[in-house]
Amino acid sequence: MKSLSTRRRHPLAAFVVLALALAFAGTLFAAFLSPSSASADSGTSNAQAIANGKALYETSCSSCHGQNAEGSSYGPSLVGSGAAAVDFQVSTGRMPAQQPGAQIQKKAVLYTQEQIDEMAAYIDSLGGGPAVPDSSKYQVDDNLVQLGGVLFRTTCSQCHNFAGEGGALTDGKYAPSLTQTNPKAIYEAMLTGPQNMPNFPDSVISPMEKQAIISYIVTMRDEPNYGGAGLGRLGPTSEGLFIWTFGLIALLLFAVWIAAHTTKASAERVAKAKAATGAKGGKE
């Protein structure tokens, strides 16, 4: 027994055991209980994907978009929207929408990429439409940044602002910020024109031009604010707000410091000083 107690447990031992137990349980859960496992393992064929997608569609989408994606008063027809549109809307969490309306908010994503691909395959099977771009189309190319900037300012900045911070549209709608959007979603948005955004098919903005725009957006959002704190990259409004709050208060505080009455010595200190000079005088 003594040998056991000589190998005292490390104080963190309990936590290590707990972590291991959780990991084990989690793995079991993932292996046997998570919904995606069934289709992930099975190496689906296209027909299988469409069938799965149809099932997902009927559960989550048909109440607004119609039993056969023909549309209803709550949502437009998806026939001909294409896989890219589905991929964009669902992978950014916009769909399934909380409520019908002109502005659909981004929110938590409810499906795995697997499931999104299946829904996309289903919608694509109904009427074709723009396909999901392959990753080479939205890679950042440093040589295209300059062209991308010109194109961005010609076509995008009027809604999304010069730094992609977003902007107001009519009746409470808005063009969202692009500073966190992933490149694939940007490509798909240009291609499919989600909600009130106009669409820009490849005949109007070529794939190379789209890639240039994406290269510019990603490069700019990673770019440091050379001059200092960026104040939100919203332009002179935030600069004015800053100077009238922080700047004015600081300057007024300096002025108050300069002109304020200096602290006077307390009565005891004055008396002490008088006594000290009196004593000195006495000494002389």
Partner 1 sequence: MSGDMTHDEGHGSVAVEQEHGHGVVAENPFADPGLPEHQPRLTDIDEKVARKSERIVAGLFILSAIATIAFMVCYTEVPNNTATIVNFFPIGAISASNFALGLTLGVALFSMGAGAIYWARTLMTDVELPQERHLLESAPADKAAAAAEFQQGLEDSAWKQRPLIRRTLIGAMAVLPLPALWILRDLGPLPGTTQRQTAWTAGELIINDNSISLDGTQGSGIKPEDLQVGTLVSASPAAVLTAGDNAVDMMTMSAILLVRMNPADIKSQQEIDWGYEGIVAFSKICTHVGCPVQLYEQQTHHMLCPCHQSTFDLSDNGRVVFGPAARSLPQLPITVNADGYLVAKAGFDQPVGPSFWERG
Partner 2 sequence: MSTSTSNEEIVPTTLGGKASDYLDQRLGIAGAAKKNLRKIFPDHWSFMLGEICLYSFIILLLSGIFLTLFFTPSMGEVTYNGSYTPLDGIKMSEAYASTLNISFDVRGGLLMRQIHHWAALVFVMGIMVHMLRIFFTGAFRKPRELNWLIGFTLFVLALLEGFAGYSLPDDLLSGTGLRIMQGIILSIPIVGTYLSYFFFGGLFPGHVLIPRLFTVHILLVPGIILALITAHLILVFYQKHTQWAGPGRTNENVVGLPLMPVYMAKAGGFFFVVFGFIALLGGLVSINPIWDYGPYVPTQITAGSQPDFYIGFFEGALRMMPNWEINAWGHTLSLNILIPAVVVPGILFTGLAVYPFFEAWVTGDKREHHILDRPRNMPTRTAIGVAGIVFYGIGWINGGNDLVATHFNLSVETITWVDRVLIFVGPVFAFWLTRRICFGLQRRDRDKVLHGRESGIITRSPEGQFSEIHTPLPQGDLHKLTAHDVHRPLTLTEVTDSNGVPAPKLRLAKLRARATRWYFGERVEKPTEEEYRHAVSSGHH
| 98 touches 107 (CB < 8 A) | yes
Beta bridge partners of 174: 168
Task: Output 43 or 236, the one with its CB closest to partner 1.
Answer: 236
233 binds, among partner 2, partner 1, none (CB under 5 to 8 A by kind): partner 2
269 binds, among partner 2, partner 1, none (CB under 5 to 8 A by kind): partner 1
| Among residues 48, 72, 112, 195, the one that binds partner 1 under rule CB under 8 A | 195
| Among residues 50, 116, 205, 220, the one that binds partner 1 under rule CB under 8 A | 205
**Identity of the amino acid at 250:** A
Query: Alpha carbon of 106 to those of 93, 109, 202, 240: distances in Å?
Result: 5, 9, 25, 30
Question: How far is it between the farthest Cα atoms of the chain?
Answer: 114
Compute how many residues bind partner 1; rule: CB under 8 A.
44
Residue 12 touching partner 1 (CB under 8 A): no
243 binds, among partner 1, partner 2, none (CB under 5 to 8 A by kind): partner 2
Residue 48 touching partner 1 (CB under 8 A): no
| 150 touches 223 (CB < 8 A) | no
Residue 173 touching partner 1 (CB under 8 A): yes
Place of tokens 């978009």: 65
Please return the burial class of 271, using the count of CB atoms within 10 Å of its CB with bins 0-12, 13-18 and 19+: exposed
Q: List residues binding partner 2 (CB under 8 A).
A: 142, 145-146, 149-150, 153-154, 157-163, 165-168, 170-175, 216, 219-220, 223, 225-231, 233-237, 239-244, 247-248, 250-252, 254-256, 258-260
Cβ at position 221, least distance to partner 2 in Å: 11
Q: In whole angstroms, what is the distance from residue 166 CA to residue 158 CA?
A: 9
Report the length, in residues, of the chain.
284
Query: Alpha carbon of 249 to those of 231, 243, 255, 267: distances in Å?
Result: 18, 9, 10, 34
Residue span 151-170 as binding mask against partner 1, x where in contact by CB under 8 A, dash where not: x--xx--xx-------xxxx
| 89 touches 129 (CB < 8 A) | no
Binding site residues, partner 1, CB under 8 A: 102, 146-147, 150-151, 154-155, 158-159, 167-171, 173, 175, 193, 195-201, 203-205, 209, 224-230, 257-258, 262-265, 269-270, 273
